[in-house]
């Protein structure tokens, strides 16, 4: 027993001597199981935490908007943009240049639509067609209380950087496309005008993406999607956009936007009537009423089959049957009623009345329409009776 006690004393003395000879570990390098648990459960620090791509896309989706513009040359276009704050949108100039004066005094015929907060009118408060940048001011806010817009990157992108392009390709639902920066300081012709200093990237964008933000993985804006792909004419003489993998973004954005926020500067919009396919009275003040009225008036002509999509195609039957039915009647007194309503990200509902005169007499028709944007324009995706036909 005494030998065992003596051995234990010797072991203890050796352990103490060893500890005395071992250098002390600095306090900031020591990590016990208890301290590791405290670190894991501690409140997050003020320094930014790197985002995943999925987190960035989810955070930015409510800030990306679709822009519809109508011009005096009777053309409309659908593009993209992003919210700088609650009432200002950044986009490319070619999305909005030449916009006609709208029905709301002081605002152009420009409608800005979000994925979850409806649609509002806008006006141009700054535009530079050489740099292809524009700034819009909204009639009403598209951000929730306490919401903030996107911010510019503090450092420029470099070749090899991962980027995400957000926008509304073909005026379809909001999409995100991932890619990499593949070139800097490029020059490209957009709408017949050369634009220099562009960033080249390889995410395959299409028409409708123009004006949307090109962002870094942590969600900072590094450019505005500007151009990419080519337009070809197919066998049916229809224009078709073909991605090429060589796409471009405007990078000289911060300076003009900052200047316009301080001192707005934009030419006055032109006032002009629109020449619809059929004369139509527009009673709605909805921001997208112009485009919807254009689709409705075309739908009521023998050539209006191309305005149909979804369930309305099945309702109409064949193209020939549709054309024959329209040719057998004379349509007049077309009115787009006030009841135009935002329904979803790409869908509105509207009501229309008109007089239909055929061999059986004249009837007043009243329909409720569901309209959806597709391939850059409004289409009629469902037709339902809002009221039974009545004698004229």
Same domain, 178 and 225: yes
Cβ-in-10-Å burial (0-12, 13-18, 19+) of 337 comes to middle
Same domain, 109 and 205: no
Answer for the pair 156, 222: CB distance below 8 angstroms, yes or no. yes
For residue 25, being part of any structural domain is answered with: no
Q: Of 225, 174, 219, 218, which Cα lies nearest the Cα of 204?
A: 225
Answer for the pair 60, 114: CB distance below 8 angstroms, yes or no. no
Residue 380 is predicted with a pLDDT of 97
Residue 209 is predicted with a pLDDT of 93
For residue 191, being part of any structural domain is answered with: yes
Rounded to an integer, what is the distance from CA 12 to the centroid of its chain?
Answer: 73
For residue 239, being part of any structural domain is answered with: yes
For residue 19, being part of any structural domain is answered with: no
Same domain, 78 and 128: yes
Same domain, 374 and 287: yes
- Give the total number of structural domains in the chain: 3
Same domain, 108 and 170: no
For residue 16, being part of any structural domain is answered with: no
Same domain, 118 and 168: no
For residue 210, being part of any structural domain is answered with: yes
Domain that holds residue 183: 162-252
Q: Of 85, 220, 232, which Cα lies nearest the Cα of 162?
A: 220
The CA distances from residue 188 to 193, 228, 248, 255, in Å, are 8, 9, 8, 21
Same domain, 98 and 166: no
Contacts of 219 (CB under 8 A, 6+ apart): 51, 56, 59, 60, 150
Torsion angle of the four alpha carbons 221, 162, 143, 154, in this order, in degrees rounded to the nearest 10: -30
Residue 330 is predicted with a pLDDT of 96
- pTM of the predicted model over 0.85: no
The CA distances from residue 366 to 149, 153, 251, 327, in Å, are 42, 52, 49, 19
Residue 312 is predicted with a pLDDT of 96
Q: Of 225, 224, 185, 186, which Cα lies nearest the Cα of 207?
A: 225
In three-state secondary structure terms, 253 is coil
Residues paired with 68 in a beta bridge: 78, 111
CATH assignment of the domain containing 375: 3.10.450.50
Q: Which long-range contacts (CB under 8 A, 24 or more apart) does 281-285 make?
A: 281/333, 281/334, 281/335, 281/336, 282/103, 282/335, 282/336, 283/335, 283/336, 283/337, 283/338, 284/336, 284/337, 284/338, 284/339, 284/340, 284/350, 285/103, 285/104, 285/338
For residue 3, being part of any structural domain is answered with: no
Same domain, 284 and 356: yes
Residue 233 is predicted with a pLDDT of 40
For residue 155, being part of any structural domain is answered with: no
Residues paired with 179 in a beta bridge: 163
Same domain, 77 and 174: no
CATH assignment of the domain containing 83: 2.40.10.10
Residue 47 is predicted with a pLDDT of 35
Contacts of 307 (CB under 8 A, 6+ apart): 295, 298, 299, 378, 379, 380
Residue 228 is predicted with a pLDDT of 59
Same domain, 125 and 177: no
Tens of pLDDT along the chain (392 residues) come to 333 343 333 334 333 333 333 333 333 332 222 222 222 233 333 334 557 999 999 999 999 999 999 998 888 889 999 999 999 999 999 999 999 998 888 999 999 999 988 999 999 999 999 999 999 999 999 998 778 999 999 999 999 999 999 999 987 899 999 999 999 989 887 777 788 889 999 988 888 999 999 999 999 999 999 975 444 344 444 444 445 567 999 999 999 999 999 999 988 898 998 889 999 999 999 999 999 999 999 999 999 999 999 999 999 999 999 999 999 999 999 999 998 999 988 999 999 999 999 999 999 999 999 999 987 789 999 999 999 999 99
């Amino acid at each position: 027993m005494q030998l065992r006690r003596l051995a234990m004393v010797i072991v203890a003395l050796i352990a103490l001597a060893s500890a005395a000879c071992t250098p002390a570990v600095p306090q900031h390098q020591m990590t016990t199981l208890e301290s590791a648990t405290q670190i894991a459960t501690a409140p997050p620090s003020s320094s930014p935490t790197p985002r995943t791509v999925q987190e960035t896309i989810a955070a930015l989706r409510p800030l990306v908007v679709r822009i519809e513009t109508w011009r005096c040359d009777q053309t409309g276009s659908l593009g993209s943009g992003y919210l700088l704050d609650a009432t200002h949108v950044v986009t490319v100039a070619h999305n909005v240049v030449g916009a006609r004066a709208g029905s709301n005094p002081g605002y152009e015929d420009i409608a800005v639509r979000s994925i979850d907060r409806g649609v509002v009118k806008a006006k141009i408060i700054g535009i530079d067609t050489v740099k292809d940048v524009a700034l819009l001011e909204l009639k009403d806010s598209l951000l929730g209380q306490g919401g903030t817009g996107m911010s510019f990157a503090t450092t420029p992108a470099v070749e090899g950087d991962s980027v995400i392009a957000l926008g509304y390709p073909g005026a379809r639902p909001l999409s995100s496309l991932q890619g990499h920066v593949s070139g800097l300081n490029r020059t490209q012709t957009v709408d017949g005008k050369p634009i220099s200093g562009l960033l080249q990237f390889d995410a395959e964008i299409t028409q409708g993406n123009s004006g949307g933000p090109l962002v870094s993985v942590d969600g900072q804006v590094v450019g505005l999607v500007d151009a990419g792909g080519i337009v070809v004419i197919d066998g049916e003489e229809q224009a078709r956009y073909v991605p090429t993998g060589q796409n471009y973004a405007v990078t000289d954005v911060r300076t003009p936007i900052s200047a316009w926020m301080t001192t707005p500067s934009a030419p006055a919009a032109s006032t002009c009537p629109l020449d619809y396919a059929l004369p139509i009275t527009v009673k709605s003040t909805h921001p997208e009423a112009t485009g919807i009225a254009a689709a409705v008036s075309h739908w009521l002509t023998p050539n209006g089959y191309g305005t149909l999509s979804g369930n309305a195609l099945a309702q109409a039957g064949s193209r020939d049957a549709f054309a024959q039915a329209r040719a057998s009647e004379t349509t007049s007194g077309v009115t787009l009623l006030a009841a135009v309503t935002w329904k979803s990200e790409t869908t509105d509902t509207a009501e229309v009345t008109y007089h239909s005169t055929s061999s059986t007499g004249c009837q007043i028709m009243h329909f409720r329409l569901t309209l959806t944007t597709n391939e850059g324009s409004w289409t009629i995706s469902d037709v339902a009776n809002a009221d039974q036909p009545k004698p004229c």
